[in-house]
A = this chain, B = another copy of it.
Amino acid sequence: MINFSINKTLFLQALSTTKRAISSKNAIPILSTIKIDVTPEGVALSGSNGQISIENFISIKDENAGLLVTSSGSILLEATFFINVISSLPDVTVDFKEIEQKQVLLTSGKSEITLKGKDADQYPRIQEMAASNPLVLETKLLKQLINETAFAASVQESRPILTGVHFVLSENKELKTVATDSHRMSQKVMTLDKNGDNFDVVIPSRSLREFTSVFSDDIETVEVFFANNQILFRSEHISFYTRLLEGNYPDTDRLIPTEFNTEATFNVANLRFAMERARLLSNATQNGTVKLEFKNGIVSSHVHSPEVGRVNEEIDTSAVAGEDLSISFNPTYLIEALKAIDSEQVVIRFISSVRPFTLVPEGNEQGFIQLITPVRTN
């Protein structure tokens, strides 16, 4: 029967991280619990929603944890409730003791709280993976790739494969990351410092967003392991599993145009704020679009909602070249594309009013390109 004592604050942090994989509204009731496995080496906390699983290990060697294990064992506890109880405790230390019939007695200061738990055998097995030959990535780099692409993935389940982000490693060091919802696309191509085994996987964008929340910036590197239908991101204390999407990801390379007729360079923030103003009114129009006009080297944005009103605005450019153009599109796509760009300036290139246009950060040493499809109006 389990018996350990631990620093309350550190325990709560580890529980909150694990909780990110746990939904209180899961169709499988047992998945609303958190699994606690205690061994002489430390305490492992596991949670899963069937898609993502997180295991967080607190070692007896971690000085901040003040962990003292007297007796080992496993138990399940209702995750949300257990975390609320731990966070309410008065003292800096919690004693966690399993008593008769899968009950846990928590003691902290003068407070004694008894909670009913469940048999750990009821918990589904989190798939173990053969931990060999991982790809080692900087956490910061992986989070940047996710920020630059995952937002462009589809949120609709009509084409499930498009709800994921396509990660491809070829020639052992060429990493391509791409997402598209068929209206816009975001792609980043880069060369890794170290070689790795080639792979071609589609990771649910929702899992990737959770990844960025779970792996804090103080975790420098993350090991990536692949199995048939799963991927594991692992740091010293945290194992983050997610299922992969099955199916063939569309060939996005052929979508990227190479010849253009109009080109302009904008300040990213200025253009984004202009699009946010335009969106206030485009939301009240039938097709929800803003019109961008290029005329004699002047760029301007226009929205006209018969009910609400209109926006007309000249947008500053640092360079304009090529043919005059008038093109309409959903301003949200441009706003989200601009949010993903870290540079101060962006170069936008157009073919015509009916062909996708591209965005690249000025300089574009980073191999980062985005595509937005216009809307035909008339």
Contacts and interface: CB of A to CB of B under 8 A. Distances in A.
Interface string A106-120: 000011111110000
A105 B89 CA distance: 58
A88 B309 contact: no
A116 B277 contact: no
Contacts of A112: 311-313
A88 B273 contact: yes
Nearest to A308: B116
A280 to B, nearest CB: 6
Interface in A257-280: 270, 273-274, 276-277, 280
A92 interface: no
A336 interface: no
A290 interface: no
Nearest to A116: B309
B280 A111 contact: no
Given A273-B88, A280-B84, A309 B111 contact: no
B280 A85 contact: yes
Nearest to A84: B280
B277 A81 contact: no
A61 interface: no
B313 A88 contact: no
Contact of A309 (B113, B270, B281, B316): B113
Interface in A50-85: 78, 81, 84-85
Given A84-B280, A85-B280, A88-B277, A110 B308 contact: no
A98 to B, nearest CB: 13
Given A111-B274, A274-B111, A88 B310 contact: no
A90 interface: yes
Interface in A287-309: 307-309
A313 B111 contact: yes
A132 B142 CA distance: 68
A103 interface: yes
Nearest to A110: B314
B314 A85 contact: no
Nearest to A273: B90
Give 3 nearest A-B pairs by CB, closest first: A115-B309, A110-B314, A111-B313
